[in-house]
């Protein structure tokens, strides 16, 4: 005889326990404490600024920048931070260390080489100038400290050297092919070269660095950077570097991140499942047209990505397309189910359960995603529109579409038709992931970093909101509150990846 606690294949329970039990309380406590720690970690880097601190000014940074972690690293080392653009003017009353990032890093050194209040230069993954000439630079000119940080380069022939080693050899006079490097670090040690005058420094990571901007996020790089500037520019700093403060901050962030995830899992484990996980693996007849459209859009994107990857002026559009595609797919699915959603017959009515549990889950998960994203990235979009306007539009559009699709899934299950659309059909969700996965693999195979990282960003924008919604979708039969969480996390992901 069938259990009365389940109906059909959807696994909807008729009895819901109200007492979550001790395990849930423990899990909730761990998650809340972890989120509080993340909030503290977000605020800590803003301390330590001082008008007398020398300033490390980053130039050439495009896209996301690890503002919070880098600020913490530099403040603990006794320095301030500035992310500048081409129009930024340096304050003549402050001491600067110019850090050029990416292909044009060498150009920033040329620009500021004779500025008196610039104490030295840091080149991060630089490229040789277009003409291959670096006239006017050697081990004594300019008589300022120059450091180069780059990826792995274990070439044993002069003709195989990468740009960073070539630049270092020309400005230092050091032979890196036959010279013996200094090993810095532990398990993932980097190799370093220093000239006799100790004013030219080269550090090569043990990893291949495909993108200078993403290299900045590495805790190992930030730790080594703090060590270098702390020793080289100690005469300008007003305090000694605190490496314990840097390492503890990174360790606490990792622990709090996984602590929040583990706490939420422990909290949810004993709770009764109101709606079972995705069971529908066949596309319903009502949605086959929508799936066909999604497939056509995906195919067009695949062809377009291949074409745009060879056109420099269009290549930058790929990340924006990938961020918009989830909304486009959800709109197509909503249109295919619009009649079903608006129908007045057999309306779905949720149980009269308390709102406290779904609201608490929504707030806790939302804060976790927001704080983790704010710590990891700068949340500043690099388009000509205000961040607030972009986030508001993304939130509003996603809220409308996700509310309708979640309601359609609830109603379909209550009618015994199984899960449907975005929230209840595994096939449809996997189809929505294909464009981002293709972009990642295509960029990886063709060594196009922009396309590869765009694919990763698209995966984040599509996958994270869906994963965050699973607890509320399974443990609550409401539609609007989970949709708020989905819209909020999608808006956060848009700000994070753009």
Give how far Cα 339 sits from Cα of 63, 229, 342, 343, 404, Å: 42, 64, 5, 6, 11
> How far, rounded to the nearest angstrom, does the alpha carbon of residue 273 sit from its chain's CA centroid?
31
Burial of 356 from C-beta contacts in 10 A (0-12 / 13-18 / 19+): exposed
Task: Tell if the pTM clears 0.75, that is, is over it.
Answer: yes
**Which are the contacts of 235, defined by CB distance < 8 A and separation ≥ 6?**
none
Query: Of the ranges 125-129, 205-209, 250-254, 342-346, which one carries the lowest mean pLDDT score?
Result: 342-346
Predicted pLDDT of residue 425:
79
Enumerate the β-bridge partners of residue 122. Answer: 99, 147
**Which are the contacts of 59, defined by CB distance < 8 A and separation ≥ 6?**
84, 85, 88, 98, 99, 100, 101, 108
Which run of H or of E encompasses 458? helix 449-475
62: tokens are: 């495009």
Instruction: Give per-residue pLDDT as tens, 315-367.
Output: 888 888 999 999 999 999 999 888 888 887 766 666 656 778 888 889 999 99
Instruction: Give per-residue pLDDT as tens, 43-84.
Output: 999 988 888 899 999 998 877 889 999 999 999 999 999 998
Predicted pLDDT of residue 185:
67
302: tokens are: 């695949």
Rounded CA separation 386/396 (Å): 16
Longest dimension (CA), the chain: 89
Instruction: Give per-residue pLDDT as tens, 249-306.
Output: 999 999 999 999 999 989 888 877 776 655 556 677 777 888 888 889 999 998 988 8
Rounded CA separation 401/409 (Å): 12
Predicted pLDDT of residue 278:
55
Predicted pLDDT of residue 188:
79
Q: How far apart are the first and last CA of the chain?
A: 54
Rounded to the nearest integer, the mean pLDDT of the chain is 85
Region 14-28 average pLDDT? 69
Predicted pLDDT of residue 365:
94
- Which pLDDT band holds residue 19 (cuts at 50, 70, 90)? low
Query: Of the ranges 41-45, 106-110, 129-133, 163-167, which one carries the lowest mean pLDDT score?
Result: 129-133
pLDDT at 3 over 50: no
Predicted pLDDT of residue 346:
67
- Which pLDDT band holds residue 2 (cuts at 50, 70, 90)? very low
DSSP state of 353: -
């Amino acid at each position: 005889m069938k259990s009365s606690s389940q109906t059909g294949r959807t696994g909807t329970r008729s009895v819901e326990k109200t007492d979550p039990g001790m395990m849930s309380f423990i899990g909730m406590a761990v998650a809340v404490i972890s989120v509080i720690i993340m909030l503290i970690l977000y605020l800590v880097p803003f301390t330590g600024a001082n008008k007398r601190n020398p300033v490390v000014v980053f130039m050439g940074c495009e896209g996301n920048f690890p503002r919070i972690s880098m600020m913490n690293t530099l403040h603990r080392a006794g320095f301030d931070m500035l992310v500048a653009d081409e129009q930024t003017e340096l304050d003549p009353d402050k001491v600067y260390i110019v850090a050029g990032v990416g292909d044009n890093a060498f150009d920033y050194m040329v620009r500021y080489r004779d500025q008196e209040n610039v104490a030295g230069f840091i080149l991060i993954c630089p490229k040789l100038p277009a003409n291959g000439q670096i006239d006017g630079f050697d081990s004594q000119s300019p008589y300022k400290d120059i450091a180069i940080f780059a990826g792995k380069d274990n070439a044993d022939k002069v003709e195989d050297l990468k740009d960073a080693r070539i630049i270092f050899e020309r400005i230092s006079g050091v032979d890196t092919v036959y010279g013996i490097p200094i090993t810095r670090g532990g398990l993932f040690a980097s190799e370093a070269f220093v000239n006799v005058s100790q004013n030219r420094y080269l550090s090569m990571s043990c990893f291949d660095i495909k993108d200078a901007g993403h290299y900045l996020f590495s805790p190992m790089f930030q730790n080594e950077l703090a060590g270098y500037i702390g020793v080289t520019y100690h005469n300008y700093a007003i305090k000694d570097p605190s490496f314990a403060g840097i390492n503890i901050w990174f360790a606490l962030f990792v622990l709090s991140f996984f602590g929040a995830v583990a706490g939420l899992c422990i909290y949810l484990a004993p709770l009764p499942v109101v709606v079972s996980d995705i069971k529908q693996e066949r596309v319903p007849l009502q949605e086959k047209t929508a799936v066909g459209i999604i497939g056509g859009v995906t195919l067009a994107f695949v062809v377009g990505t291949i074409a745009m990857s060879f056109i420099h002026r269009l290549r930058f559009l790929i990340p924006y397309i990938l961020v918009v595609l989830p909304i486009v797919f959800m709109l197509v699915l909503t249109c295919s189910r619009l009649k079903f959603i608006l129908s007045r017959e057999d309306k779905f009515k949720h149980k009269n359960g308390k709102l406290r549990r779904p609201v608490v889950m929504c707030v806790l998960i939302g804060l976790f995603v927001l704080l983790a994203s704010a710590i990891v990235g700068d949340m500043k979009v690099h388009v000509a529109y205000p961040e607030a306007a972009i986030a508001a539009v993304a939130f509003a559009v996603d809220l409308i579409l996700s509310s309708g699709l979640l309601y359609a899934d609830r109603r379909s299950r209550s009618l015994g038709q199984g899960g449907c659309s975005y929230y209840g059909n595994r096939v449809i969700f996997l189809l929505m992931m294909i464009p981002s996965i293709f972009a990642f693999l295509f960029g990886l195979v063709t060594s196009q970093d922009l396309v590869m990282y765009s694919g990763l960003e698209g995966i984040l924008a599509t996958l994270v909101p869906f994963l965050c919604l699973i607890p509320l979708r399974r443990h609550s039969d409401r539609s609007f509150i989970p949709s708020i969480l989905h819209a909020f996390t999608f808006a956060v992901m848009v700000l994070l990846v753009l």
